[in-house]
Amino acid sequence: MCDIDCSFSTAKQLWFSVPEEFGDWLTDDVYDAFMVAMLFPAMYYKEVLEIDGNVSGRLYDKITHYIQKCEIAHHDYLHEVLVKVKGFSETEKKGKLVGTGFTAGVDAFSTVYDRFILEDNESHKISALFFFNVGTHGGGTEKARKKFHTRYNYLKPLTEEWGLPFVPMDSNLFDFYKFEWEFDAGIFCRNTAILVFQKVLSKYYIAYDYSYWEVTHMTDTDYGAVTDLCNDQIFGTESLELIVDGAQYRRSEKIERLLDFQPFFKYVNVCVSSRPTPDNCSGCHKCMRTELALDMMNRLTEFKDVFDIERYKSRRFKFKCEMVLNRKSDIYANDNCTLAKKMGYPMPPYCIAWLVCSRRIIRSFIRRTIYRFMK
């Protein structure tokens, strides 16, 4: 817990909490997590960030010289601010744990499969799993907190089967963040959460969604996708190495590899709907693109316990049309269309896809035109 004095929130303390059994895992000798947590709002509101305590010298240097400029290059509403600290902790003492976040998504499963199930090198093998409440469950509302606990409790039996500690960390970070910053400040939210545990960690794998090929070749690669590959290394400290894992595969390649991993069939969760339960809605874009990939591989029926296959089938044709229309600009559409060609799976011709989706395309064009003239 840290006392906060700022003009943009009525909250007076920023806190991170874990169950009592993990209390001694919390870092209590440096303010790195709090410095990273408050950097984005300080840059947004143009306030000096002053830390009355010690921080890692390496992290401070990178925030001062690189991280702020990197963010401003993309977010033109941010401003470079002065960061003052009481002193520096230059210790290179490392924890012993190798961690990663586990949400049961395709990327998270892929990292666990590679770096825990298949990993032979003990110094690189995952030894702890984490589950954070820093925005990804729907901001900082009590509804989000309930969803966080529900998802954690759903996954805990699986982590117990693996014999790994599974650490839930709650926070009030969004008492200081705008709701939409879950996306704009996602790198800060995630790295803040990781730094809370730097006392016990030597390495932390960050499950990455895009592949190296996609970042290099696809036109819709967003800022977060590009900067994740470098910013995660930038946020490392003298004692903690951050490792981006998963960029060696495209999404469909991860799914194909995970078909050899039995827990994937029972626990995979890719849904981005607002439902409070941990099951997949089977109709949102993330559910649909995962179901479509499994369908192409002729393995979808094996996932009947986690997906509503009939709901998927009722929406399949229109979704396939959307994939065809967006294959040149959307990374996941391109991946699914490439997989379809590889598997000999039928996709609608472009002209049919355009006719099916024409109403949506025209509406989208009108909205973009109106917005452009109103700016």
- Cα–Cα distance measured from residue 149 to residue 138, given in angstroms and rounded to the nearest whole number: 13
Neighbours of 207 (CB within 10 A): 23
Phi, psi of 360 (to 5 degrees): -65, -40
CB of 228 closer than 8 Å to CB of 187: yes
Q: Residue 88 in 3-state DSSP?
A: strand
CB of 122 closer than 8 Å to CB of 115: no
pTM of the shown model? 0.88
Per-residue pLDDT of the chain (375 residues; tens, 9 = 90+): 888 888 888 888 999 999 999 999 999 889 999 999 999 999 999 999 999 999 998 999 999 988 899 888 888 899 999 999 989 886 666 789 999 999 999 999 999 999 999 999 999 999 999 999 987 776 667 788 888 899 999 999 999 999 999 999 999 988 898 888 877 888 888 999 999 999 999 999 999 888 887 777 765 555 556 666 666 667 888 888 999 999 999 999 999 999 999 999 999 999 887 676 778 999 999 999 999 999 999 999 999 999 999 999 999 999 999 999 998 888 899 999 999 999 999 999 999 898 888 776 666 656 666 556 655
Residue 178: the pLDDT is 87
CA dist 189 → 117, 149, 272 (Å): 28, 18, 18
Residue 365: the pLDDT is 59
CB of 234 closer than 8 Å to CB of 227: no
With both helix axes pointing from N to C terminus, report the angle between 285-296 and 251-258 in degrees, rounded to the nearest 10.
60
Structure tokens of 312?
Answer: 């998927």
Residue 320: the pLDDT is 94
- Among 47, 45, 50, smallest CA distance to 31 is for 50
Place of tokens 């917005």: 371
Residue 290: the pLDDT is 96
CB of 192 closer than 8 Å to CB of 134: yes
